[in-house]
Amino acid sequence: MDSNLLFFTGFEGCTSTTDLRQLFHHLEGYAGGSYTVRYSATEGYWGSKAMLCHDVSDAFASIYYKNLYQVYVGGHIKIRTYSSTIDVYIRTGGNIQVNLVQDELMRVYVSGQVFDISVPVIFGVYYHYEAFVDTVTGTVIIKINGVEEFNQSGFAMNSSEIYRIRWGRQIYDNLWVHKTKSLGMAICNYSVPVADGYYNAFSGEFTAHNDSETFYDKLASNDGDTTYIHSSVPDAKFSCEYAEIPQGFQAVGWAMQTKLKNTTGGGLLYNKDLLRYENVDYIQKAVPVPDVYSNRIPYRTHYSTAPDGTELTRDKLNVIEFGSTLVEDPS
């Protein structure tokens, strides 16, 4: 199963600004005693959830990478002010910057050079942007609403490492980052458990809050300590069936968010995400179990293939059971 999908979110699993901020490595912009990157439940594409970076000119959210020399970045962006910049930065170790900026028309900045592109800026309208950068060939390609607006190679990037991707100064939804391919105008669909899976409440390894006979509904609520499942059994497993991706959509990738915490200070200190597909368990790498619920990056996994490594399709994604196994040893 490949991990070339580096980031994918429509913020649908978030219920607060705290949740949203935990998706990123670094935030910039601070005013009134708080960071100015914020969450919205209604400002997103199709009236869904979104990230707000437009209140002050220096509100940014960043993710850092290593050993990255080619990258595709995409998402939806709503322009809220003509006096600010659509900062979709791809910054490399060679001090190269690729930015989409606006002032009546959109512009691309590469290595200090400025290039106009023929897309007029309209206040309050969502655009879909996509940027491709290859620092080995010095290539930059920009697409707006699926149309290629800029394509040029030969920039002196000197095979520099791309170490940071930054979003800021506007409103964002459906963000994705991929190493090897474009996801196009992707939409993030949020799915929750709808049934207990193969490893269910009757296995005896997990117990549902209030001794319920089912636990999928305790996970679907995403309400912290109000409803939950728990276990102290080594190698305990659970899995759930999830709501299907609607007809008419093509699956291009998926992200899994596991929220859990350790309440004992010892015992089962590590979690491994469990994917059950065609009667086979695919166990992922171990991550430490935190002592508070967290949206942070170690507790999110991103993939663009089926668990067995084959091409991802909607039908395959719809039959995967998602869950966890708790272990004492991370090996």
Q: Determine the Cα–Cα distance for residues 293 and 212; give it in Å rounded to an integer.
A: 22
Q: Identify the pLDDT of residue 299.
A: 64
Question: What is the rounded CA–CA span in Å between residue 230 and residue 124?
Answer: 45
Domain residues of the chain, as ranges? 5-178, 193-327
Contact at 8 Å (CB) between 115 and 63? no
Q: Please state whether 204 falls in left (phi above 0), alpha (psi between -120 and 50) or beta.
A: left
Cα 136–chain centre separation: 26
Q: Are 327 and 276 in contact (CB under 8 A)?
A: no
**Dist CA 20 CA 310 (whole Å):** 31
Query: How many other C-beta atoms can be found within 10 angstroms of the C-beta atom of residue 279?
Result: 6
What is the Cα–Cα distance from 281 to 275, expressed in whole angstroms? 6
Q: For residues 270 and 330, is the Cβ–Cβ distance under 8 A?
A: yes
Residue 11's pLDDT is: 93
| CATH code for the domain defined by 5-178 | 2.60.120.200
The residue whose two tokens read 């220096």 is 58
Instruction: Assess contact for 302 and 5: CB atoms under 8 A.
Output: yes
Could you count the other beta carbons within 10 Å of the beta carbon of residue 61?
23
**SS3 (DSSP) at 324:** strand
**DSSP code, position 187:** -
Q: What is the pLDDT of residue 287?
A: 86
Determine the pLDDT at residue 296.
65
What pLDDT tens digit does each residue of the chain (331 aa) get? 677 999 999 998 888 888 888 899 988 877 666 668 999 999 999 999 999 987 666 788 999 998 899 999 999 999 876 655 666 677 665 556 666 766 677 878 887 788 888 788 788 889 999 999 999 999 999 999 999 999 999 988 878 889 889 898 889 999 999 999 999 999 988 888 899 899 876 566 887 776 666 777 777 777 777 778 888 888 888 899 998 888 888 899 888 887 788 877 666 688 898 999 999 999 988 888 887 776 665 567 888 999 999 999 999 999 999 998 888 878 7
Instruction: Classify burial at 98, counting beta carbons within 10 Å of its beta carbon; exposed 0-12, middle 13-18, buried 19 or more.
Output: buried
Q: Which of 87, 49, 299, 53 is nearest to 188 (CA)?
A: 49
SS3 115: strand
Catalogue the E-assigned strands of 53-199. 60-64, 70-78, 87-92, 97-103, 105-110, 113-120, 126-134, 139-144, 147-152, 162-168, 171-178, 193-196
Confidence (pLDDT) at 330:
80
268-24-188-4 Cα dihedral, nearest 10 degrees: -80
